[in-house]
Each structure stands twice: as C-alpha cells, then as structure tokens.
C-alpha cells in the first residue's frame, strides 16, 4: 500500500500541474467573453482547453490499478488474516494450548472490530495523498524566494527626498524573452521637480522604464538611482510610497471612493490616523485631481460603493480617483503611463488639468502617444528600440525637424474655412452639462442597484431559486449523461453487490466457526479447516471485487471530471453577455466554480460512491440476514437501532449541506479579495499595499472561520451521535441475545449470525454517514452544473433561426433604437437612435464617455438586443431574427482593450478565420494580415516569429503590440462589417498612422461597412459620416467639413484636440 500510495502521489502532482495550466488558460477565456462571442470561437477554445483535460485524464487513468491495489490488498489481508487466525486458534485448542474458547472469541472479535475499522483507512489515505500533493505545491510557492520582496523590511529609508532620477547604462530583457533586448545601454537624467515625457513607437521601452523605476523588475545591467542612491538599496515600500504611478487603465478596488483613495495612505504616517483626518486628506487629494465635485454629487459621497473594479464610475471618473489615490501620499516622483489615452476629449481635458496640477512641484515622468498632452514638458525624450533618438523641449525638437516633428505632423488636426480651424483657448461651455449627464447616469445606477437585481431575477432563472436535486436524482442524471461510461457503471455495480455480500457472508462463517469450538477432535479440525478455507475464499473474492471497484470508480471519476470541466466551460461561454454582467459571475468566481465543482463531483462519483453503495447494501443485507435467522433478535435490534441511527445521519447530512452552502458564501468574500488582488497585482505593488490586502484577506478568513464554528459544532455533535449509536446496536444485541439464549429461544449459532449481522449493519450505517461531506459537496456542485447546463441564453441559435443568415451585409438601418442594460433597466443608454448606413460607407461615432457609442458596437455584435426599436441588415432582416453565429461570420471587432489568448501569435491571429482548426491557416495569409496591421516588422523580429507565445492575456507583448495583433485577427476575417471600438488608442503615432491607412483602405474597397468609435478625431476625419452622440442620441451628423462648418459640438471637440 505504501508503494501504491507513493506512485499515486507522484501522479497526483502531475495532474495538479496540468490542471493549473488548464485553469490559467480557462480564466483568460472567461475574462474575454466578448471576444469569444464576437469571433464565435467558443468551440475552438474549448477544444484547446480539452487538450489539457485529456492530458490530466490520461494521467488520472494510470491511477486506476493503484486504487484497485489500495482497496483490494487491504481487504484481502484482513480476511485472509481472519482465516489464518481461526485456523490457528482451532488447532491450538485441539492441542490443548488454549483451554477456553472464550479467549479465542475475545481475541477474534477484537480483531474483527479493529480490522473493520482499518478498512476505513483507504479513502482517507487517498484524500491525504491528494492533500499532500496540493500542499507540496503550496509550500513550494510559499518557500519560493522573491528577488524583489515587498515584505522585506530592510533597505534605506531617507528622511528627505528631492526627486532626482538617473538611469545609468540600463540594459534589460524580460525574463520570458531573454533574447529580446528592450533597453540597450540606456541612460537618462531626470531632474527634480520637472516634467519628463517619453514618446516613441510601441515596444520602444517606454513602459519598461516605468516598470524598472517601480522595481517590478531589476535591470540586467546598469543602475537606477533616486537622489543618487541605487533604488535596489532602498526599502521597497518606502520607494513605492515616494514614487507613485497612474496607469493607462486605472484599476480601482471594490469598496467606497474613500477606501480607494485612502489606499494611497497605506505605509505613511496617516495610515492609522483617525477617519476624520484621513477624510480631510482624501478630500484634498480629490480636489487636486478634480474629483471632489463629482464625488460630492454621488448618493453617499465618499462612502458610495463603486462596484467591482470601479465599474459604476465612468472612465474619466475612475482616472481622477486613481490620480487622487496616487498623490495623497505626497510623493516626490509621479509616473504617468498613458493616463489619458482612453478618454474622450472632454474627460481628457479635465483629467489633463488634474495631472498638470498634480505634477506641480513633483518630478513627473509621463508616457504619452497624444503629443498634445506633453507639449509643455520640460524635456521630451524620443525613444526607438530601447535607445534615445532625440530629446529636448517641444519647440526645440520642432526646430530640429526630426523624429519628433514627424510624430507631431502625423497627429495634427487642422482645418480652415473650407474646414479648418485654429487652436482656441478657454473652457468648453458644454462641459458642465456633459458632466451632469454623466453624473445623472451614474447616480441612476446606484439608486436602482437592488431593484435591478430583482428585475433580472424575474427575467431569467436564478440559481438561488433552482430546485435542488437529491443524491439519487444526481447519480441517475450523471449516469444518463455519460453513456460512454456504462461499462464502468456496470462493473462498479457488480463489484459493490458482491463486495457487500461479503459482510453477511462473514457473519455466517463466523457463526459456523463459533459452533466448531463446541466440537472436539477430528470433527473440530475438519470443520475448522473448511470454514477457515471459506474465509480465505471470501478473502480472494473480496480482493477481486475491491480491485474491480477501485479500478472502475477511478475510471468513472476521471471520465466525469474531464467531461464536466469541458462541459462547464462550454456552458459558461454559451451564455450571453447578460450572464457575465452579473456581480456573482465575475471571472474569479466562475474560474473557481470551474475548478471546484467538477472536483467535488469527482469526490462523490469516484470511490466514495462505491463505498456508499457497499455500506447501503451492507445495511440492507445484514438486517435481512439477522431477521431471517432469528426474527425476535433481528427485529428488536434493527427496529430499535436503525431508526435513530438513520435519523441522526439524516440530520448530519442536512447540517453538512447547510454548512457547505453557507461556507461557500462566506469564503466568496475572501476569494474575491484574492482574485481582485492577483488580477491587479501591478496596482497592488505600485501602491505598496500588499500587507494591507493580506490583512483584509486574513480578516475575511477569520470571519468565515468564526461564523462556521457554531454550525460546525452542531454538525460534529450529530456525527458523534451516528457513531455512538453503533455501540448501542452492540449493547442491545448482546443484552437481548443473551436473554433469548438464557430462555433457550435461540441457538448459539442463531445468536452469532444475528448479532454479527446487526453489528455489521450498524457499523455500515455509521460508515455511510462519514461520507456525508463528500455527498453534500458533490450534490451541491452537481446541482449548480445542471442549472448552468439547462440555462438558456437569451441570444442563441435556435431551430427557428438555424438557417437565417444575412444575404450580403451591405447595409444597416437603425430604427428608433432604445436600449438599457439588463442590470440597469432605468439607466437609458440609447434614447432613440435613427441611422442609415449604406454599402461601403465609413461611419464614425464620437462623443463623451457614456453617451452610447460602445453600446452601439455591442448592439451590432449582438451582445445584447435592443430594448425597443430594430436594427436591420440588407434592408429587411432584423438582427434579432438571425442566427447569431451566422451573422457574426460577417462581422469583425477590434476592441479598445485588446484581448489575446494563451498561445502563439499565429494561433491568436488564426482565431479570426472561421475554421475548426488553428493550424490550417497558411502563414502567408497570416503574414498579409500582420502587414496590414503594421505588425509584421515586430513579429518577424522576435526569435520565434509567429510561434512566439503571447502569454496569459497576451501580457508578454506590449499594449501596442497586442492591439496590432488584434487588428490583424480582425482583418484576416475579411469581414463585411468591421467594428472598431477605439482600435488604435494604444498605438504609437507612427503605428497609428500606418494602421489607420490600412483600415481606411479596407473601408474604401466599396464593399465593407466600417463603423469606428474614436476619441482621436484625426483618425476619423475622412469618414463618410461622423455621428456625434450626446445623452444616448445622435445630435450632429455629417462629414468632417460639414460639421466643422456647422460650428457645433464637433467643432469644439476638434478645437480641444488641435495640435500646432
């Protein structure tokens, strides 16, 4: 058994590694549901996920003979030991070495009771092995030394900081791509109190400099100094407290506005200050960041909950809260990484004001592709391929007429009387109404949050209202849905029936052996040898049965685990976007369910179901045997003992189920903290709040433990009751059996048959309820997966629309379109949009954040259907009547935040083609798409070219590189309708110009409809129609020249972005 356990542990370790890879891959998929739906790539991604599962399945199947050995060897040794013990006892008594048969009974009954208890060890050995393998992974992670340890208290903490930053001869390559040099002998002096801007193409090393200053990585060579001191000698938390970062995509944490801004106080002298003092500092920081006004208008002010990742705030509001969080600690150095790239012109203006104010008196290092935001910088550094090309002021670099001048010219948006304007100064008169509309929309979300959840529950099935199925129903459905495992189910059934028969068989043999001790001489030896041999035969039979049961139940467990994981991911991705919008269906929660629920069912439907069946059949068979042998003793013991035992066991099962459900909910809060923190690890590290996050996590765990103590105590009392009633069985059997013996109403043989029958029956019943935890977890997990599988999305392929596809995709008509998100039905996002788009037109959607532009894209991708109104394609067919899969074959989407999947660049681009295989796409076709997206130069320069791994969520590539791969993925699709939602926002000026030219050419082919959402108006000034959105409506429509001549909102937006 020890050898088998060792091999089983080794296999379990490999399986855990494989599932860890599968979990990482699936979490990236679940976080990218929009992309999965847009390209209809669910089946291909599930197939790739299935490869991980198949590897784990193959490893798991190797455990089948080991499980067979673990179960069968133990039972064989025990029963063979019985045979030997009885045989030896009889011979010793015959030789006169033992004079009293009672001594033999005492020894043998002690052995029977003890060895029966030993048979319960195998399941625990297996569970212990699994736990040990998981713990080994965990301990390895805990013991892993961190080169850059945020919990290390060593290092200098200067009392006075000026803010001079020097990068001296820095050479750096990312650990995942050591062959690619990102910074090559790079040197730069950044003076204190000045603004230094880094500009250049994507992948030139700008964001890498930010990462090195933050000490996310250490350089391979060279030194970074702060005030002349190497930063690797400074205390890490002190460094990050004095060097604050505002990222391109600000990440806020679930909680209030106050909580998020106050995160910037962690590690400062104000961390434990009274709330009143902290509130004062929070408000001061918010005022500097131009956030105080909008926060004050929220329903609860600074105590307003902002949702997961700040989802209840607009982009501009999140950015301003992030700025306030970064400056509240009064850092000497401020790092700004594309802090305004994703904002509309109005929000960008407000945030830029906040950044300019926040930069006063601080050393500021800013990365920007929008050159208008850094024209006032004291030093502008132009970078290319990890080196400085030129540096100087805006005016000085323009005089040089070099690389910077070319970037400026590429971004210039100028017009004259035929369509040109000059730069204007002053505030936008419409700024207040825009902010107020945004605020009204935000407040509406808060006011109706609870009401919205109720509305959604009425509209769709809710798991909390799902009718729970019991053990028998769950097992029957599992069996019915896995016909490929029928042979294993049949084998298990035969094995457990025969194995269960061993217990009444054992009772009969023991009773006959007791009779043997009343004999003498050769007759005692003869019958003793016979029944001892019967015990050995029983041992052989048990060996075969338990070996078969161990093998078949593991086969069932591995097969079910494989199928349920694959089915669960498929069922998650089958749901529409409304499902993923729900708070409880965040990525972390779904990934956790995908991992834990099939595992819980494995514990139920694996060897535990075999042991449960054996225990159940044992109870029935032994009770029948006892009653059939002597009804007086059998009925009394069975009817007096089984009901309280079953009742106490039932109570334990119910308490177990209740505890499992409540514990899952309690631990969801800690799981949310862990998932949120790991996902936003760069934000956590830049704020140096690791210890604060760990404390919150620990507090939630402590709360969960405390809340579970009372119900756990109650459950253990019920468990103790089920175990003690077993001895009540024995006491009652002895007492009443002896009374019957004394009155000569039963024979000694009948007594022992009935007694041993009721004894094994009671012991089996007691064992049965030891599996209640596995039963309840498995049943709860199965019910969730059944509910998920049966849940029907609102937008899906049906028999009615199966063959309905667009005819040509050459025109689109929006007829009085209105829409509210299902979670926020009272917040009207679109308020009556009418628009006609003809064949080959390039249509641009512009306007402030939250005005409905991206919602229009979501409507066109059929992520949602309109609340009222209709979108028609080809003049007659409504989108809501079409097969979404066939319709999306005509459409391609490039989103503002590009999503790539774990795999190579080739695989990610090939996902754009409607093919079942990612390997059938020719490299020439992929190269052509890369060239159109201006991605081929950087792809071909990588050591592995198209085979270069993108990493989880594409994080091994820069933001601009990810964006170009996403554009290539869309262009290779050759769509009839191309949707661009801020498709070039993450690109540098040169790449944007080239990609924009490619997109414009694609839009001008006369066949394709292109609809683009853009904040950089220079990218859409050549559009056939520019639609200006405001408050969910189109308020202006026309060409660039027409709208500028009109002198309305579009003209003001152009003025705000003019660069000269």
Domain range list for the chain: 2-139+480-790, 165-392, 892-974
Query: What pLDDT score does 814 carry?
Result: 92
* Residue 674 Cα distances to 25, 685, 687, 924, 955, angstroms: 18, 14, 16, 43, 20
What does residue 627 show for φ and ψ, rounded to 5 degrees? -70, -40
* 656 vs 449: CA distance, rounded Å: 33
State how beta strands 379-384 and 221-226 pair.
unpaired
Domain 165-392 sits in CATH at 3.40.50.300
Residue keyed to tokens 């177990």: 656
* 856 vs 893: CA distance, rounded Å: 12
- The angle, 0 to 180 degrees and rounded to 10, between the axes of the packed helices 2-30 and 42-61 is 170
DSSP per residue over 645-668, as a string? Answer: HHHHHHHHHHHHHHHHHHHHHHHH
The answer to whether 970 and 857 are in contact (CB under 8 A) is no
3 state DSSP class of 102: helix
Neighbour count for residue 1000 (Cβ, 10 Å):
16
* 916 vs 41: CA distance, rounded Å: 9
User: CA end-to-end span of the chain, whole Å?
Assistant: 80
* Residue 423 Cα distances to 200, 729, 846, 959, 1052, angstroms: 25, 95, 20, 31, 10
Cβ within 8 Å of residue 96, ≥6 positions away: none
Cβ within 8 Å of residue 213, ≥6 positions away: 165, 224, 231, 243, 333, 335, 365
Cβ within 8 Å of residue 98, ≥6 positions away: 89, 92, 104
What does residue 205 show for φ and ψ, rounded to 5 degrees? 110, 5
Query: What pLDDT score does 432 carry?
Result: 36
The answer to whether 9 and 70 are in contact (CB under 8 A) is no
Neighbour count for residue 607 (Cβ, 10 Å):
26
* 1058 vs 412: CA distance, rounded Å: 6
Helix H or strand E segment including 246: strand 243-246
Please, what is the Cα angle at 1038 between 1033 and 1039, to 5 degrees?
Answer: 140
Q: What letter would DSSP give residue 696?
A: H
Q: Which CATH class is domain 2-139+480-790?
A: mainly alpha
Query: What pLDDT score does 448 carry?
Result: 41
Closest of 506, 725, 743 to residue 632, by C-alpha: 743
Query: What pLDDT score does 1036 carry?
Result: 92
Helices (H) and strands (E) in the chain, counts: 37, 20
Residue keyed to tokens 């334990």: 652
* 897 vs 250: CA distance, rounded Å: 12
Distance of alpha carbon 367 from its chain centroid, rounded? Answer: 31
Query: What pLDDT score does 311 carry?
Result: 67
Query: What pLDDT score does 317 carry?
Result: 77
- The angle, 0 to 180 degrees and rounded to 10, between the axes of the packed helices 631-679 and 690-742 is 180
Cβ within 8 Å of residue 743, ≥6 positions away: none
- Please list the alpha-helical segments (H only) found in 381-448: 394-400, 403-411, 431-447
Q: What letter would DSSP give residue 847?
A: E
The answer to whether 69 and 1 are in contact (CB under 8 A) is yes
- Please list the alpha-helical segments (H only) found in 743-805: 748-768, 772-790
Long-range contacts of 1047-1051 (CB under 8 A, 24+ apart): 1049/430, 1050/846, 1050/1026, 1051/421
Rg of the chain on CA atoms, in Å: 36
Label each residue of 323-387 as H, E or C: HHHHHCCCCCEEEEECCCCCCCHHHHHHHHHHHHHHHCCCEEEEECCCHHHCCCCCEEEEEECCE
Closest of 872, 858, 798 to residue 830, by C-alpha: 858
Residue keyed to tokens 């995709």: 809
Cβ within 8 Å of residue 774, ≥6 positions away: 600, 603, 604, 608
* Residue 759 Cα distances to 61, 349, 749, 751, 754, angstroms: 36, 82, 15, 12, 8
Please, what is the Cα angle at 536 between 535 and 538, to 5 degrees?
Answer: 65
Structure tokens at 252: 């806020």
Specify the pTM: 0.78
Cβ within 8 Å of residue 1013, ≥6 positions away: 844, 845, 846, 853, 854, 856, 857, 896, 980, 981, 982
pLDDT along the chain (1060 residues), means of 10: 71 85 87 89 91 92 87 83 83 80 74 69 72 81 85 87 90 84 90 90 83 90 91 90 83 87 87 89 86 82 79 73 86 83 65 74 84 84 89 89 82 41 33 40 42 44 70 88 90 90 84 79 87 90 90 91 93 88 77 85 82 84 85 82 77 76 72 78 86 88 83 80 76 85 85 79 71 79 89 86 83 90 78 90 84 87 90 87 90 85 90 73 88 86 86 77 88 89 72 71 74 83 90 90 89 69
Q: Say how many residues make up the chain.
A: 1060
3 state DSSP class of 104: helix
* 408 vs 125: CA distance, rounded Å: 70
Handedness of CA 617, 622, 624, 625 (dihedral sign): positive
Label each residue of 169-235 as H, E or C: EEEECCCCCCCCCCEEEEEEEECCCCEEEEEECCCCCHHHHHHHHCCCCCCCEEEEEECCEEHHHEC
* 33 vs 861: CA distance, rounded Å: 12
State how beta strands 812-820 and 977-981 pair.
unpaired
Helix H or strand E segment including 741: helix 690-742
* 747 vs 740: CA distance, rounded Å: 9
Is 791 exposed, middle or buried, given 0-12, 13-18 or 19+ CB atoms closer than 10 A? middle
* 880 vs 576: CA distance, rounded Å: 14
CATH architecture observed for domain 892-974 = 3-Layer(aba) Sandwich (3.40)
Neighbour count for residue 232 (Cβ, 10 Å):
16
* 365 vs 359: CA distance, rounded Å: 9
* 94 vs 858: CA distance, rounded Å: 91
Query: What pLDDT score does 417 carry?
Result: 35
* Residue 801 Cα distances to 116, 809, 864, angstroms: 62, 17, 17
CA dihedral 89, 95, 96, 100 (to 10 degrees): 20
Examine domains 2-139+480-790 and 892-974 and report if their fold is the same. no
């Amino acid at each position: 058994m020890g050898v088998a356990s060792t091999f089983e542990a080794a296999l379990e370790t490999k399986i855990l590694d494989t599932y860890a890879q599968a979990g990482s891959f699936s979490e990236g998929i679940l976080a990218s549901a929009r992309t999965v739906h847009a390209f209809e790539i669910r089946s291909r991604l599930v197939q790739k996920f299935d490869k991980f599962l198949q590897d784990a399945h193959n490893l798991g199947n190797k455990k089948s003979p080991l499980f067979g050995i673990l179960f069968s060897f133990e039972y064989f040794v025990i029963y063979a030991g019985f045979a030997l013990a009885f045989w030896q006892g009889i011979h010793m008594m015959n030789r006169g070495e033992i004079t009293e048969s009672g001594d033999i009974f005492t020894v043998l009954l002690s052995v029977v009771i003890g060895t029966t208890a030993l048979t319960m060890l195998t399941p625990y050995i297996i569970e212990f092995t699994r736990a040990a393998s998981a713990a080994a992974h965990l301990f390895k992670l805990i013991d892993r030394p961190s080169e850059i340890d945020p919990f290390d208290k060593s290092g200098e903490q200067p009392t006075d900081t000026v803010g001079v930053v020097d990068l001296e001869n820095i050479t750096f390559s990312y650990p995942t791509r050591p062959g690619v040099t990102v910074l090559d002998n790079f040197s730069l002096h950044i003076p204190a109190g000045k603004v230094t801007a880094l500009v250049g193409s994507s992948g030139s090393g700008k964001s890498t400099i930010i990462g090195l200053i933050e000490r996310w990585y250490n350089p391979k060579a060279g030194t970074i100094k702060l005030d002349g001191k190497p930063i690797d000698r400074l205390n890490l938390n002190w460094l990050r407290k004095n060097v604050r970062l505002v990222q391109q995509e600000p990440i806020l944490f679930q909680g209030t506005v106050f909580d998020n801004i106050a995160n910037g106080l962690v590690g400062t002298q104000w961390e434990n200050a009274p709330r009143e003092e902290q509130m004062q500092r929070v408000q001061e920081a918010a005022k500097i960041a131009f956030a105080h006004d909008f926060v004050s208008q929220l329903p609860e002010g600074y105590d307003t909950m902002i949702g997961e990742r700040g989802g209840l705030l607009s982009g501009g509001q999140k950015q301003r809260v992030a700025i306030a969080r970064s400056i509240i600690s009064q850092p000497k150095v401020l790092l700004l990484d594309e802090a305004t790239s994703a904002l509309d012109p109005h929000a960008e203006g407000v945030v830029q004001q906040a950044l300019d104010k926040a930069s006063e008196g601080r050393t500021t290092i800013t990365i920007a592709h929008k050159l208008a935001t850094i024209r006032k910088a004291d030093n502008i550094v132009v970078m290319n391929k990890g080196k400085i090309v030129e540096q100087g002021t805006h005016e000085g670099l323009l005089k040089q007429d070099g690389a910077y001048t070319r970037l400026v010219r590429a971004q210039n948006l100028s017009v004259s009387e035929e369509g040109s304007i000059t730069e204007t100064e002053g505030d936008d008169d419409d700024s207040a109404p825009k902010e107020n509309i945004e605020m009204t929309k935000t407040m509406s979300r808060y006011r109706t949050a609870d009401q919205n959840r109720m509305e959604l529950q009425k509209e769709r099935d809710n798991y909390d209202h799902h009718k729970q199925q019991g053990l028998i129903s769950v097992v029957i459905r599992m069996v019915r849905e896995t016909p490929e495992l029928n042979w294993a189910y049949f084998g298990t059934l035969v094995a457990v029936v025969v194995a269960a028969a061993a217990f009444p068989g054992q009772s009969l043999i023991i009773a006959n052996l007791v009779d043997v001790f009343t004999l003498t001489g050769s007759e005692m030896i003869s019958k003793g040898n016979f029944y001892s041999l019967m015990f050995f035969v029983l041992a052989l039979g048990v060996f075969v049965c338990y070996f078969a049961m161990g093998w078949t139940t593991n086969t069932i467990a591995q097969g079910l685990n494989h199928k349920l994981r694959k089915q669960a991911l498929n069922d998650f991705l089958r749901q529409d976007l409304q499902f993923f919008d729900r708070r409880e269906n965040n990525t972390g929660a779904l990934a956790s369910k995908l991992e834990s629920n099939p595992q819980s069912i494995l514990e139920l439907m694996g060897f535990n179901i075999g042991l449960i069946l054996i225990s159940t059949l044992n109870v029935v068979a032994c009770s029948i045997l006892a009653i059939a042998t002597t009804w007086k003793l059998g009925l009394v013991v069975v009817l007096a003992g089984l009901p309280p035992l079953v009742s106490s066991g039932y109570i334990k099962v119910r308490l177990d189920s209740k505890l499992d459900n409540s514990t899952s909910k309690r631990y969801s809060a800690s799981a949310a903290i862990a998932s949120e923190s790991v996902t936003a690890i760069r934000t956590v590290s830049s704020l140096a709040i690791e210890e604060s996050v760990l404390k919150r996590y620990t507090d939630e765990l402590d709360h969960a433990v405390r809340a579970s103590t009372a119900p756990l105590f109650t459950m253990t009392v019920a468990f103790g009751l089920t175990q003690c009633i077993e001895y009540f069985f024995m006491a009652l059997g002895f007492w009443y059996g002896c009374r019957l013996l004394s009155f000569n109403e039963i024979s000694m043989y009948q007594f022992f048959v009935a007694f041993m029958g009721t004894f094994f029956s009671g012991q089996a019943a007691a064992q049965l309820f030891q599996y209640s935890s596995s039963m309840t977890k498995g049943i709860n997990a199965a019910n969730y997966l059944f509910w998920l599988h049966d849940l029907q999305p609102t937008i899906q392929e049906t028999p009615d629309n199966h063959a309905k596809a667009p005819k040509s995709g050459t025109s689109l008509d929006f007829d009085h379109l209105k829409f509210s998100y299902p979670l926020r039905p009272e917040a009207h996002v679109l308020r009556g949009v009418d628009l006609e788009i003809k064949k080959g037109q390039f249509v641009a959607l512009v306007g402030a954040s939250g005005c409905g532009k991206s919602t229009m894209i979501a409507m066109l991708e059929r992520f949602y259907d309109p609340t009222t109104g209709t979108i028609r394609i080809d003049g007659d067919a409504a989108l809501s009547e079409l097969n979404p899969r066939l319709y999306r074959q005509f459409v391609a989407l490039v989103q503002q935040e590009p999503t790539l999947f774990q795999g190579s660049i080739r695989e990610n681009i090939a996902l754009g083609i409607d093919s079942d295989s990612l390997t059938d796409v020719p490299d020439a076709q992929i190269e052509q798409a890369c060239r159109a997206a201006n991605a081929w130069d950087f792809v071909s320069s990588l050591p592995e070219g198209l085979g270069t791994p993108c990493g989880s969520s594409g994080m091994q590539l820069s933001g601009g590189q990810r964006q170009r791969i996403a554009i290539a993925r869309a262009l290779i699709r050759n769509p009839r309708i191309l949707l661009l939602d801020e498709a070039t926002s993450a690109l540098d000026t040169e790449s944007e110009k080239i990609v924009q030219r490619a997109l414009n050419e694609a839009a001008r082919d006369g066949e394709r409809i292109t609809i683009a959402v853009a904040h950089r108006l220079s990218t859409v000034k050549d559009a056939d129609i520019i639609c200006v959105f405001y408050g969910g409506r189109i308020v202006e429509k026309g060409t660039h020249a027409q709208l500028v001549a009109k002198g309305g909102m579009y003209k003001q937006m152009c003025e705000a972005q003019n660069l000269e």
